[in-house]
Amino acid sequence: MTLDYGDLQDFTDVDKGFIATLDDPVITAADGRVVWDCSRYDFITGDAPETAHPSLWRQGKLNAKHGLFELAPGVYQVRGLDLSNMSLIETDNGVIVIDTLMANETAMAALNLYRQHRGDRPVKALIITHSHADHFGGSGAIAQDAGPDAPVYAPAGFLDHAVSENVYAGAAMSRRAVYIYAADLPAGPAGQIGAGLGQATSDGTVSLVPPTVDVTHTGQEDTIDGVRFVFQITPGTEAPAEMNIFFPAQRALCMAENATQTLHQVLTLRGAEVRDSRGWSRYLGEAVRLFGEDTDVVFASHHWPTWGTERITTYLTQQRDIYAYLHDQTLRRMNQGLIGTEIAEGFTLPPGLDNVWNIRGYYGSYSHNVKAIYQRYLGWYDGNPAHLWSYPPEQEAVRYVEFMGGADAVLEKAKK
């Protein structure tokens, strides 16, 4: 595998359409607490230092670009003000907001940045693409700004999954997320460089506004203040309730979080339902068939867009193929008798996908995803009867030490 660091297309794309960024890089809460600081990652410049992998450094450099961008006439995006993006589609007399970042404070900072350069357009509708907090956490602020007459669209089942995934196991997930995103680790060349999907999560006020319009099927469409949009429902992909949105007049396709500039997670380490990689692949293929020929720009709720119908088709099919390949190869080896860890250890990519930047493991991992697919089909049990009732870690450690002759013997061996 050889990665082409001379391929600068992503850097061209990440800069394209840049308008401006915040006058003050620091976003604060009402009590003065810092919620987000865009300047935290200003250190990611030049070549990678010895403390950082060049590929990870490259991803961090791309993600660190922040501000307001024009994607197409009437299509805008605010990036780098949170882990996720806010997208905005201008209507005849206002604007449609797609996803609201993770906090009320960052959401309003993004909307205000847009208005500073595009005028004080009222929010005509809010669309929430899926049931993860970094996409609805700022919905309270945006909905309040929009007023009670603005509809809120979300995929069917959104509210149930938002609660089950973020509340039922919320305390445990929050603890685990600290390790995943390393948000408390000092940012720097030898510290936190980014989270792959974005730079980090904000630390503001999280809210949740119930949808007023459920999107129930692919092909469902609506028109708001002169702008027509068509939905594609994609349940069980990156989230249990998720959807893509196509804007025919703008020739723009929003892929939610189903296609980003990284390999995603089939099972997030913070904990969630195992995702359906087979279904994920098929929905990506469906998106190409439904909208590919009519799309000039594809964008997502993370990372930067891709332009040009041919490039978009290649990008989406690469994303489609990697989830299908992960699924099929895991099942092939699983049915041959291997367990998840064995399959992951021997997993390799085919030549056509082994040097593609947008499916590198900056957020998801091939090793983790293989084991997640194994878990989806066969669960935690690996077929070894000795593992049916394993000791908890502390008791297991005591027995290992005893088996090795006791603590003194172990320490003596460690000195050698």
401 and 347 co-located in one domain:
no
Which helix (H) or strand (E) element contains residue 101? none
- 131 within a domain of the structure (yes/no): yes
- 2 within a domain of the structure (yes/no): no
Residue 394 sits in which domain range?
A: 386-416
393 and 370 co-located in one domain:
no
338 and 402 co-located in one domain:
no
Q: Is 266 exposed, middle or buried (0-12, 13-18, 19+ CB in 10 A)?
A: buried
404 and 343 co-located in one domain:
no
Q: Is the dihedral of CA 249, 138, 274, 342 positive or negative?
A: positive
Distance, in Å, from the CA atom of 254 to the CA atom of 298, rounded to the nearest integer, reads 6
359 and 407 co-located in one domain:
no
Confirm if 245 and 347 have CB atoms less than 8 A apart.
Answer: no
239 and 116 co-located in one domain:
yes
- 1 within a domain of the structure (yes/no): no
- 94 within a domain of the structure (yes/no): yes
Q: Where are the alpha helices (DSSP H) in 235-308?
A: 277-291
Residue 352 identity (one-letter amino acid): G
282's CB contacts (< 8 A; 6+ apart) are: 320
- What is residue 170's predicted lDDT score, i.e. its pLDDT? 80
360 and 394 co-located in one domain:
no
- 219 within a domain of the structure (yes/no): yes
- 160 within a domain of the structure (yes/no): yes
Distance, in Å, from the CA atom of 244 to the CA atom of 41, rounded to the nearest integer, reads 30
Task: Tell me how far apart the terminal alpha carbons of the chain are, to the nearest angstrom.
Answer: 38
339 and 407 co-located in one domain:
no
User: DSSP letter at 282?
Assistant: H
Q: Residue 320 belongs to a domain with what CATH number?
A: 3.60.15.30
**Total domain count, the chain:** 2
- What is residue 1's predicted lDDT score, i.e. its pLDDT? 61
330 and 401 co-located in one domain:
no
312 and 377 co-located in one domain:
yes
More confident residue, 171 or 264: 264
Q: 92 falls in which pLDDT band (50, 70, 90)?
A: very high
Residue 113, pLDDT above cutoff 70: yes
- Count CB atoms within 10 A of the CB of residue 379: 9
- What is residue 169's predicted lDDT score, i.e. its pLDDT? 81
Q: What are phi and psi of 14, to 5 degrees?
A: -70, -25
- What is residue 358's predicted lDDT score, i.e. its pLDDT? 96
- 250 within a domain of the structure (yes/no): yes
pTM here is: 0.94
341 and 393 co-located in one domain:
no
48 and 62 co-located in one domain:
yes
- Predicted confidence (pLDDT) per residue in 157-208, tens digit: 999 999 887 778 888 888 888 888 887 889 999 999 999 999 999 999 999 9
- 174 within a domain of the structure (yes/no): yes
Cross-strand bridge partners of residue 153: 127, 213
Q: What is the CA radius of gyration of the chain?
A: 22
Average pLDDT in the 290-311 region? 98
Confirm if 209 and 140 have CB atoms less than 8 A apart.
Answer: yes
- Predicted confidence (pLDDT) per residue in 340-393, tens digit: 999 999 999 998 899 999 999 999 999 999 999 999 999 999 999 989 999 899
Distance, in Å, from the CA atom of 4 to the CA atom of 12, rounded to the nearest integer, reads 15
3-class secondary-structure state, position 380: coil
Distance, in Å, from the CA atom of 232 to the CA atom of 100, rounded to the nearest integer, reads 20
- Predicted confidence (pLDDT) per residue in 229-258, tens digit: 999 999 999 999 999 999 999 999 999 999
Mean pLDDT, rounded, of the chain? 95
- Predicted confidence (pLDDT) per residue in 14-48, tens digit: 999 999 999 999 999 999 999 999 999 999 999 99
Percent of the chain at pLDDT exceeding 90: 86
